[in-house]
Structure 1
Amino acid sequence: MTMSPPVPDADRPPTARFAYDRWTWKEIAHLLANLPLALAGFVYAVFLVGVGAGLSVTVVGLPLLALGLQGARGFGRVERGRARRMLGVRIDEPSPMTHSRRDRGFFPWLWSGLKDPVGWRALLYSFIRLPWGVVTFTVSLVGLFVLWPVLPFIARGLTNADRAMVRGLLSPSDELERRIAELESDRGVVVDTAAADLRRIERDLHDGAQARLVALAMDLGLAKEKLTADPEAAARMVDEAHGEVKVALQELRDLARGIHPAVLTDRGLDAALSAIASRCTVPVKVSVELSARPAEAIEGIAYFTVSELLQNVSKHSRARSASVEVWRSGDRLMVQVQDDGVGGARMDGGTGMSGLAERLGAVDGLFVLDSPAGGPTTVTAELPWRGRTDVAAKHVRS
């Protein structure tokens, strides 16, 4: 028995030849195992379709079918694993069945299960495998005793058909379904985030500027009543009201800055990030190296990401210094925030890290946290560029 040379590509076994190497034996074993596995899958598929269709007019039929399609996903997972081990086929796992967080419940789950393309293709795979399993099992078994010299070539031809079936029916369809699932989930994140922002703005207006303006109107009404009877008291009340107006205006400016700061629109990320860095309780070095400006929405996400991270630095890090770096890498906008604090930050630690990761994920971004105990903490955010043509200055500011 002669062993073949190492295989450079796991998806391409060595050329078949008149020798029984490890690849040939693995392919023969795969073909012989086709029949029992195909029989189990066929029985499952027939039972699922028969029972699910027969009971579809009742309240249990459609949920049973949805559950059965999830089970078909399990069959597909087993077959992909077998193809990886026995045939060297490297196939990504399809994305899990997901739906928006705001759509949690029985009926969204039922609808997602019934329209799951991964489950339906795995079910189709189980249907067509039984006759193929009979053929491959019979040919391989006979070949071991009758067609021994040419069996390696026969096994290679049959397993190439197996490889094609696995790739065609059990692999993600050109990443389309993966992207659909991701976008459905991201849509829920975006909607939830927008709703939370609207509630925050409403709360800030109600508890802040609105309440202050109501009190101001009442004070001015009292000052008007005292204007003739007690001019000095009225003057004092007007002076206090003037101070309240200044405070209300500042609160409105802060609220507007929380929606979308004017400095970001007018002067870009460099000036906007320098402004929020100046409000941090630790010294922050800001370095922005961009030859052009990304899309306005991407700028906004980058700005608010850095803003929240610097708030975490002020509140939790006990750092002596921090830095913010922004640069472009290909078609991605890179943002990195680092501090020399105590570290130990976690995605589930109550500092808003998981929310930031979800927001970035909603626009095809990435969020990486590196925060060992004792520090330093480094957060790297990656966003799609989606740029515009106006140019931003390139410089470093401390």
Structure 2
Amino acid sequence: METKSWVRDGIHAVAGGLLAMLLSITNLPLLVLWLIALALSPVAGIGLIALPFMTVVLRARIDLQRRLAARSGVQIPRPYAPRPASAPPGGWRRYRWILTDPATWRDIAWLVPGAIIGVALGVVSLVLALYGIEGIILLPLWLYLGTDWYGYGLFWPIESFSEGLLALPQGVVILAVGLTAAPWLRWLDARFAKLLLAPTRAAELRLRVAHLTVSRADTVDAQAAELRRIERDLHDGAQARLVSLGMTIGLAEQLLDRDPEHVRKLLAEAREASGAALVELRHLVRGIHPPVLAERGLDGAVRALALSLPLPVGVEVELPGRPETPVESAAYFVVAEALTNVVRHSRARTASVTIRHDDGRLAMVVRDDGVGGADPRGGTGLRGIARRLAAFDGTMALSSPPGGPTVVSMELPCVLSSPRISPSSGTV
């Protein structure tokens, strides 16, 4: 399996190098056209339309480079400043937004050296692969075409049977070297692109502020929705029962002298109503902050939650300490929401929860063997998880191909306290 994976990765890298080489050829025409559009800027009717259009094309080309880099394991975030709210496609504000964005000029600065590096590395990976393949097939091809075809071969001419025999193992070695080197060459190309195409510190700060603004708005909305839920649950549940309880006690007070037997029944009903109200209040408190979470921590709370579900849930927790209370509560509720989605929608037979802390991040993975096909756009559960995580600068990744399995990976930045002697793990 490892050999197949190595060969597959090498072939994909060679194909990626060929694609990068072809895309790099478009860099110079894009640069020329963009500079022409910039030169036409004094002609307001043309420049105010041509430059934004060419910038859209340029950024589409740069986004393709970012996608190629991501396939090599190098993530290059988009650094562009947000477009002004009221900027028409050909307006002055959009034109000024393009020219004052440092990311635009970094894109322009990358085009020429990026083309040189992309073509050079793409040629190297492609030539190594073709050279090795030719060495492997040259002897059978030479024998098939006839021994009078002396000097046959583009990179590797042979003139005798013995030279063909030597070409075969050499071709295997060169092809192996080419397939091994191709992913590294793609990685070098991606790292070079990241030097100019990644956000600067100022751009990162700007993107960070924009992200925090959105997450803060989502957090405020989530808190408002949570308060409305608590108010609704109190009004429709415990409050209604307490009102009914008061009316029952009042009626019993009026009948105390006339009908003691009826009063006894009313008091029994009042006792049942008070018990039901107490149960509803406990459920409401658990929805705000489960007592088991405060008493036993995230480990015990998740295990207790897993025991209450109608399907077997394996739980593995490795935490050398406890997160801070707000982070611990958020972690519990996102796991609870993910497991609720499993029960409601996945038609799974089993599920599992894995929680670990590594490198300052709390990682939680909820997996099930259901039908798959989960989509954050199709319901509020996964979007709610993402919003709750975003409030703590956390992230969520979803893998749910049709037919399953579904894997929800969640991370929260956190620092643990109160270290324990040994981590716990097991299966519920």
Same fold (TM over 0.5): yes
One-letter identity of the residue aligned with 2:99: L
> Residue 123 of structure 1 aligns with which residue?
99
- Cross-structure match for 1:322: 351
Contact between 1:268 and 1:392, CA under 8 Å: does it hold in 2?
A: no
1:272 counterpart (301, 304, 309): 301
Relative to structure 1, is the Cα distance of residues 169 and 256 closer, same or farther in structure 2, using a 3 angstrom cutoff? Answer: closer
Residues in 2 aligned to 1:362 and 1:370: alpha-carbon distance in whole angstroms: 22
Deviation (angstroms), 1:79? 5.4
1:351-379, Cα deviation, whole Å (9 max, x unpaired): 51122123223322121222222322221
For 1:147-296, what aligned pairs fall within 5 Å after superposition?
173-296=202-325
Deviations 1:26-63 (A, max 9, x none): 99878765752321345559997xxxxxxxxxxxxxxx
d(CA) in 2 for partners of 1:213, 1:31: 74
Distance 2:334 2:64 in 1: 43
Specify the code of the residue in structure 2 equivalent to 1:247. A
- Look up the SS of the partner of 2:267 in the other structure: helix
How far apart are residue 247 of structure 1 and its match?
Answer: 0.9
CA apart distance, 1:278: 1.8
Partner of 2:423: 394
Native 8 Å contact 2:34 2:55 kept in 1? no
Structure 2 vs 1, CA of residues 252 and 78 (structure 1 numbering), >3 Å: closer, same or farther? same
Kindly state the Cα deviation for residue 198 of structure 1 after the two structures are TM-superposed: 0.6
| Partner of residue 94, structure 1 | 79
Does 1:381 find its partner at 2:410?
yes
Once superposed, what is the RMSD of the aligned Cα atoms?
A: 4.3
Q: Which amino acid aligns with 1:344?
A: G
Q: Does residue 307 in structure 1 map to residue 336 in structure 2?
A: yes
Partner SS, residue 375 of structure 1: coil
TM normalised by structure 1 equals 0.65
Q: Is the 8 A contact 2:37 2:51 kept in 1?
A: no
2: CA distance between counterparts of 1:77 and 1:41?
A: 16
5+ residue gaps, structure 2, are 1-16, 70-75, 88-92, 106-191
Q: Give distance in 1, aligned partners of 2:94 and 2:295.
A: 47
SS in 2 for 1:292: coil
Answering whether residue 320 of structure 2 is matched by residue 344 of structure 1, we say no
In structure 1, what is the Cα distance between the partners aligned to 2:198 and 2:411? 33
Matched, 1:36 2:27: no
Deviates more, 1:353-362 or 1:242-251: 353-362
Tell me the TM-score normalised to structure 2 length.
0.61
- Look up the SS of the partner of 1:333 in the other structure: strand
Partner of 1:133 in structure 2?
none
Amino acid in structure 2 at the alignment position of 1:336: V
SS in 2 for 1:325: strand
Task: Provide the C-alpha distance between the structure 1 equivalents of 2:368 and 2:96, rounded to a whole number of angstroms.
Answer: 49
Q: CA deviation at 1:292?
A: 1.3
Distance 1:377 1:85 in 2: 28
Once the 2 structures are TM-superposed, how far is the Cα of residue 242 of structure 1 from its aligned partner? 0.7
CA change 1:118–1:168 in 2 (3 A) is: farther
Amino acid at match of 2:261: E
Q: Which has the higher helix share?
A: 2
The more displaced of 250-259 and 26-35 is 26-35
Write out per-residue CA displacement over residues 70-125 of structure 1, whole angstroms, 9 at most, x where no aligned residue.
x9876655556678999xxx975325638xxxxxxxxx9459xxxxx997563347
- Per-residue displacement from partner, 1:193-247 (whole Å, max 9, x unpaired)? 1111011011000001001110111111111112221112111111111111111
Distance in 1 between residues matched to 2:32 and 2:210, nearest whole Å: 36
Structure 1 residue 251 displacement after superposition: 0.6
Alpha-carbon distance between aligned partners in 1 of 2:367 and 2:199, rounded to the nearest angstrom: 43
Question: 1:392 and 1:380, CA in 2 relative to 1: closer, same or farther beyond 3 A?
Answer: farther
What is the 5 A alignment of 1:36-75?
Answer: 36-41=36-41, 43=43
Q: Which amino acid aligns with 2:98?
A: A
Q: Structure 1: which 5+ residue stretches go unaligned?
A: 1-9, 11-21, 49-67, 99-107, 112-116, 130-162
Count of matched residue positions in the alignment of Structure 1 and Structure 2: 309
Alpha-carbon deviation of 1:167? 5.6
Q: Distance in 2 between matches of 1:344 and 1:177?
A: 35
Whole-angstrom distance in 1 between the partners of 2:310 and 2:221 = 31
- 1:285 shift after superposition: 1.9
Judge conservation of contact 1:122–1:169 (CA < 8 Å) in 2: no
Aligned twin of 2:136: none
**SS state of the match for residue 383, structure 1?**
strand
> Per the alignment, in what secondary structure is the counterpart of residue 344 of structure 2?
helix
